[in-house]
Structure 1
């Protein structure tokens, strides 16, 4: 795990602090950590750390996957619900023994943040980061995949379920919304 932390800090900056308990004081099977940097100026990154100790299963191929979850926000946003969101989603993966794949929609759960219309999460490759960040290779073991979660609206979640994740990602490329702005507008009209 030591080399993996070096890999993370090499891409995300030094770990600032973390959480190893949920809001009720229960110890989690993994941590949530906050890093000094994000993919571009003014952003920070959060991740699960230790989720990859459990091999999860792809619901499609049935292959085992080691995975950590990544979340990006503006530095001035504060921690708000982010640790709780990552805790909930990570525990859901462990409890179901299922990895999140590109294009998966988690939720909708209702508003994730105050004054925001974002209600669900979308699982993707971490395109805001260098390509070397996508997977951490481990000799003699499965690589650790970095899965980026970003918030989406109810209508966006519905669009993905009806039209597929590739059509949604085509819209993202076409419209280029700021996926780190949690007050952003819905891209589905």
Structure 2
């Protein structure tokens, strides 16, 4: 399916400048929500990007500040990962966001019904800024509204528990310290059970 282009001026160009040319797209089940698009493989970085396209048409409220946020959702995976589970995850999370009318914030963890397949133990998605891309990619400054690009990073149950217990900032410190390959859906978890992280 060809990507629909009835969005605000420049958003698609912004996404393609950072992620590559859109190759294909998938509508959601009832064709009322955003579609999901796949970008050309980034051979140098070793990943393929998928994002929602059209979620930013919806006004979402921050539960912290109350301000309106427009956003699109991003996932980065190895090029050999099958599209189907990634597309399903993005559709599921977009649907959750639209039903709640609430924006995802940095440090949130979401647990969609669909997963990444039998081979992955990473069953939750951590929301953060797209750290593998230039800083300016994280926000599209449109003619009328800004659009935040939220990166959904697959995480393990122990990593999810760590975020709940220690907070997202400490979790991101651990990611910096250990530098895991966050595009590998079969990576080992950063958090070891029963390890003392109080120090």
**Please, what TM-score do these two structures have when normalized by structure 2?**
0.88
CA offset digits 1:152-171 (Å, max 9, x no partner): 00010011001100010000
**C-alpha deviation, 1:109, in angstroms:** 5.2
Which of the residues 15, 21, 31 maps onto 1:14? 21
| Number of matched pairs | 185
In 2 relative to 1, CA 111–85 (structure 1 residues): closer, same or farther, beyond 3 Å?
closer
Partner of 2:146: 143
- 1:1-189 superposed matches below 5 A: 1-22=8-29, 26-38=30-42, 40-107=44-111, 112-139=116-143, 141-189=144-192
Listed as ranges, the gaps of 5+ residues in structure 1 are: none
Higher relative strand content: 1
Contact 1:12 1:39 in 2 (8 A): no
Contact 1:56 1:99 in 2 (8 A): yes
Alignment root-mean-square deviation, CA: 1.6
Secondary structure class of the residue paired with 2:27: strand
In 2 relative to 1, CA 160–108 (structure 1 residues): closer, same or farther, beyond 3 Å?
farther
Listed as ranges, the gaps of 5+ residues in structure 2 are: 1-7, 193-199
Secondary structure class of the residue paired with 1:100: coil
Query: Distance between the aligned counterparts of 1:45 and 1:183, measured in 2?
Result: 17
**Please, what TM-score do these two structures have when normalized by structure 1?**
0.92
In 2 relative to 1, CA 102–89 (structure 1 residues): closer, same or farther, beyond 3 Å?
same
Contact 2:89 2:112 in 1 (8 A): no
Query: Distance between the aligned counterparts of 2:166 and 2:112, measured in 1?
Result: 17
Query: Distance between the aligned counterparts of 1:108 and 1:33, measured in 2?
Result: 19
**C-alpha deviation, 1:113, in angstroms:** 2.1
